[in-house]
Amino acid sequence: MPNQSDSHNELTPEGAAVLKEIIEETKSLREIDPGEAPPAAVFEAE
Amino acid sequence: MLSDADLTQLTLARAVNLIANREVSSAELSLAVCERIRQLNDRVRAFITISLEDAILRAAIADNDVANENRLPLLGVPVSVKDLYDTSLMRTTAGSKVFENRMPGRDATAVKRLDRAGAVLVGKTNLHEFAFGLTSVNPHYGTVRNPWDAERIAGGSSGGSACAIALRMGFGSLGSDTGGSIRIPASLCGIVGLKPTYGRISVHGVIPLCWSMDHPGPMAQTVEDVAILLGVIAGHDPKDPCSRNVPVPRYTDALTGSIKGVRVGVPKTYFYERLAPEVDSAVRAALKGLEKLGAHLIPVELPYLKVHRAVWLQIASPEAYSFHEPLLKAHAALYGADVRGRLEAGRGLFSIDYVRAQRTRTLMKQECRKVFESVDVIVTPTAPIPAPRIDDLHKPWDGGTETAAASLARFTRYFNVVGLPAISIPCGFTASGLPIGLQIAGKAFAESTVLRVAHAYEQEAKWFERAPAM
């Protein structure tokens, strides 16, 4: 679980479970080579 | 002379015409709708706030406008909006105790446009708390019940809007969609719901969940009704920095009934895997129906589908936490446990993963651009299962590990990440009478094409003619 620099509160059990799920899901994302792709222009549709 | 029951069964388009031709008054229509809400709402929890007296007053004004030959696109027609849209005369709770008494003192731009079009606002619909969930099981305002089986969910987060339309408690409603929150309840309740292109409808005055993936949109009984509503609320809004200044066509002009030669993309993987058998057969029959209407089915590949859920989570979670941080610090105990948990998770993620997600989002947009060079629309199921029972939400639905609740957004989130328009329309019913939804997605700002294909199928299949018994 990542360190949290502003962790003024403990995570609830629900929060911890969601965080664990996201971290697990993110493993697939870390395997992607984005090449030269910049971050998406967030506020524009395709 | 139409009875109250007949009046509430009208489509929005028909209601507009009958009022304009003075065959029905807005007062008659509004009273019939209000009576239906009064009869049903305690059972289904579709509305959080009801504004019957204001609605009747507004209807009287509309009837006066009709008498003065005033022609407006929604003149005198009763509608509702999700309780995420700010309204000057009603509280906006976002389905949360945190905002239980919040009076924003303004109308969201989309609400203002409904008002200027002459619509009669009858109330604010229930939702998953802060729109952060897909079930509309709301611990504060009650669980929205499925109109076809009250032991099942209506879907979410715009569950109250979908339930209200299916049960004829108004002729149109506005929802919002960040991961499927218009399309999923539309699918589960057997109505039509459109998530337009990102930037097509202003988010000004709509309480955010995730700024870069929030899409307001219309919900109604038929594709034509949705096209009429979209024409009213779409268009540039200087108050919304994400709004795009792209001309708004007359969407109803696109509803020609002809889709001869339209190229329908059918994804080779992912969307047609792990479906409930009745969903699988209904969607495949719909594809054949499109083919019979003259469309060409073309297999397509979207390689980044495999990571789109991770992209969505890495973007939505921190954006949602960013909005809620001060509220959580002050009122954490007022949140429902599930939504609080989802929000808290957003503060524990790494910024490098957020950037990684945004870079992958670029790749996803590029793959869409490429695919839409060879097809006009992409067709998929809206959800892999029909409405699950409330008691079964957190159980695996097919013997695997995926719960029913987790399965719901499997096919919808992708189009929020890339910001493309996508509609859900009914494409059949299970043997036990639960609706099944078909998703049709298109190019950016090509809502007309999406509506045209949806309308042609709808008019051939006529699933909209079925109504729940309740």
Q: Does A5 touch chain B (CB under 8 A)?
A: no
List the domains of chain B with CATH numbers: 4-465 (3.90.1300.10)
Q: What is the mean pLDDT of residues B233-256?
A: 97
Q: Choose the closest CB to B337 out of A12, A28, A46.
A: A12
The interface predicted TM-score of the complex, written ipTM, equals: 0.92
Give residue-wise pLDDT tens across range B267-325.
Answer: 999 999 999 999 999 999 999 999 999 999 999 999 999 999 999 999 999 999 999 99
Pairing of strands B120-125, B47-50: antiparallel
Of B314, B365, B443, the CB nearest to A26: B314
Tell me which chain A residues have a C-beta less than 8 angstroms from the C-beta of B332.
Answer: 9
Catalytic residue check, B82: yes
Catalytic residue among B25, B30, B80, B157: B157
**Residue of B244, B358, B367, B450 best to disrupt the A interface, most CBs of A under 10 A:** B358
Query: What's residue B5's pLDDT?
Result: 77
**pLDDT above 50 for A2:** no
Q: How many residues does chain B have?
A: 470
Q: A10 at the B interface (CB within 8 A)? A: no
Strand partners, B438: B381, B425
Q: B363 at the A interface (CB within 8 A)?
A: yes
Nearest chain B residue to A15, by CA: B341
Cβ contacts below 8 Å, chain A against chain B, sum to: 128
pLDDT in tens, B348-400: 999 999 999 999 999 999 999 999 999 999 999 999 999 999 999 999 998 88
Has residue A4 got a pLDDT over 50?
Answer: no
Digit-coded pLDDT (tens) for B336-347? 999 999 999 999
A33: contact with B, CB 8 A cutoff? no
List, for residues B199-211, the tens digit of each pLDDT value: 999 999 999 999 9
Does A25 contact B at CB distance below 8 Å? yes
